[in-house]
Structure 1
Amino acid sequence: MTTALRRVLFVIVIIAAWEIISKTDLFPAFMWPPLFIPNVPGGPTVFGTLINGLITGQILNATGVTLGRMLLGFVIAIVLGLTFGYLISRYKWIDDTLGFFVTALQSIPSIVWFPLAIVWFGLGFVSILFIVTIGATWTMTVNSSTGFKNVPSLYINAAKTLGSSGGHLVRNVILPASLPHIISGLRVAWAFAWRAVMAAELLGGSGGLGYLLNVGRSIQSMDLVLAIMIVIGVIGTIMDNQVFLRMERSVARKWGTRT
């Protein structure tokens, strides 16, 4: 049985169980919150709402808004993370100061910054962008600095002997040798940023998927809430499996650690 078939069958089982739970009094009240099961819409209802939202453009437009915010913040985070990571790996005094500070900042959930973001930037696009950037920057910094530090000195010395230095050395030796760590950092940073943008939009965004989640909660439309959750999960899965995981495997094959 192929991996794809296993996954399809697993999803079918989940949907079937979901439908049974939503349509029957499967769990007695003392085992399950009595108000929960009746309020869970069945699979056909949720998927009907999802398809209708895609056709009318409501969900597609919200997805576009969220991805736009996400990609812009993610690109900024990559630039900042690679820059900070290189400086931390290159200079001991920066590692002792900024490196230590970044480790502390990484432990702070990005959404905790939201009150400060509102004070600094107001409630809107810039605040969400700030939260997304914060969510990805520190993870990117830690992973890239680890990659830069682990570049074999033999590579650097050989390149310098051949006349490489400065930007040429970074582009042609240090960055390629650090790619496994950098791609791992991209994968984790995307996951953190994706969660951050949803949380930020739930609290103060407009027009995105998080905003639609908030609308669904406000009007008690659980079918809309679950439909948006499916979209969020599908996009996250596609990015992880079809983009970052493929990049990791490609680099691993190139470096001879995977066949």
Structure 2
Amino acid sequence: MPHEATAPVADHAVEGLDALDAPPEQPRRRTGLVRSVLAPIGALVLFVAVWQALWAAAIWPEYQLPAPIAVWDQVWKVTQTGQVWEFLWVSVHRAIIGFLISLAVATPLGLLLAKVAIVRAAIGPVISGLQSLPSVAWVPAAVLWFGTTDAAIYTVVLLGAVPSIANGLVAGIDQIPPILPRVGKVLGAGRVDAARYILLPAALPGYLAGLKQGWAFSWRSLMAAELIATSPQLGFGLGQYLHNGMSLSDMSMVMAGILLIFLVGVGIELLLFRPLERAVLRARGLSGSL
């Protein structure tokens, strides 16, 4: 009799454990479509409607708040002439190159900060201070150092992006369970192998967050540099387009430039970093709402 009474309880316990191990149910496709597509479109329509209403109310003069259609006309104009592709190429390829250089510099720097106590004590506060320093402050110095050249642009980008990537990697390594490096050491992993096969994979979530922030700082730093350091030898990027709109007191041109800069930032987030985040979550058996 006792065995018969406890058998159903044991069966229920096993079923409960199986339920915990089972992956969570995926949301319906319709719900995912609404959340990922229709919701942003609805927010955009609402934003444009409010903008149009404010313009129609004439609270501000036209040179301060143009109509949405006037901004769209500016975007369509540079698209028809093909100039928009020149703007995008000049700015985006600079941002990508600067980001990749920053990644190559910041990754070993972050490893040193995380694993070498004297390095962290010596330059850790400096790196954190550089991260909080507005990157636009480096533009005058970079121009005086290198003139209005690509070297000045890339200097500003590196000084903006490297601290964010390095600190993101440090944060990720600080959250690694101590048992993992010890296991690697017991198995005979050297410093390079431990960094490559243990530290970096385990710190990937924090590292990825640092990469996202590093890209954001790269893009913002680049726009600040292009906006201030304008020269024919630097080419004509989105920052120069925005500067020209300011010089001509053409608010529709300024807002068109802001819109293009915003679209590039959103596009990189959706096409690159969002899929990477999803892949990291899936690899760790986590169900993210990204």
Equivalent residues in 2 for 1:100-139 (5 A)?
100-139=125-164
1:6 alignment partner in structure 2: 39
Secondary structure class of the residue paired with 1:133: helix
Q: Residue 226 of structure 1 aligns to which amino acid in structure 2?
A: M
Q: Which residue number in structure 1 is paired with residue 14 of structure 2?
A: none
Residue 40 of structure 1 pairs with residue 73 of structure 2: no
Q: Which residue in 2 is equivalent to 1:78?
A: 103
Q: Distance in 2 between matches of 1:110 and 1:9?
A: 34
> 1:90: which partner in 2?
115
What is the alpha-carbon distance in structure 1 between the residues aligned to residue 46 and residue 194 of structure 2? 53
Structure 2 Cα separation of the partners of residues 146 and 203 of structure 1: 33
Deviations 1:142-179 (A, max 9, x none): 11112223322222222232232232222111111110
After TM superposition, list the pairs within 5 Å mapping 1:239-250 onto structure 2.
239-250=268-279
Q: Which residue of 2 aligns with 1:227?
A: 256
Q: Return the match for 1:51 from 76, 95, 107.
A: 76
Whether the 8 Å contact between 2:245 and 2:254 is mirrored in structure 1 is yes
Counterpart-to-counterpart distance in 1, 2:133 and 2:74: 36
Percent of aligned pairs sharing the same letter: 28
Residue aligning to 1:178: 203
Find the aligned partners of 2:63 and 2:148 in 1 and give their Cα distance. Answer: 36
Hey, what does 1:30 align to over in structure 2? none
CA change 1:215–1:38 in 2 (3 A) is closer
Q: CA deviation at 1:13?
A: 1.8
Distance 1:157 1:104 in 2: 32
Deviation at 1:38, TM superposition (A): 5.2
CA displacement, residues 127-155 of structure 1 (integer Å, 9 cap, x when unaligned) = 11111111111011111112223322222
Q: Which amino acid aligns with 2:130?
A: L
Matched position secondary structure for 2:133:
coil
User: What amino acid is aligned across from residue 38 of structure 2 in structure 1?
Assistant: L
Q: Which residue of 2 aligns with 1:151?
A: 176
Count matched residues. 251
- Residues 153, 222 of structure 2: 8 Å contact kept: yes
Whole-angstrom CA distance in 1 between matches of 2:171 and 2:42: 39
In 1, Cα distance between the equivalents of 2:249 and 2:201?
Answer: 51
Query: 1:86-132 deviations in whole A, cap 9, x for unaligned?
Result: 01112111011011221222221111111211121112211111111
Could you give the per-residue CA deviations for residues 3-50 of structure 1, whole angstroms, max 9, x where no partner exists?
A: 22121122112212222322343x3xxxxxx5x445432222211221
Deviation, 1:76, is 1.3
Amino acid at match of 2:43: F
- Stretches of structure 2 that go unaligned for 5 or more consecutive residues are 1-30
| Matches for 1:206-225 after TM superposition, within 5 Å | 206=234, 207-225=236-254
**TM-score w.r.t. structure 1 length?**
0.90
Could you tell me how far apart the structure 2 residues matched to 1:197 and 1:22 are? 31
Report the CA distance between 1:84 and its aligned residue: 0.9
| Residue identity matched to 1:238 | G
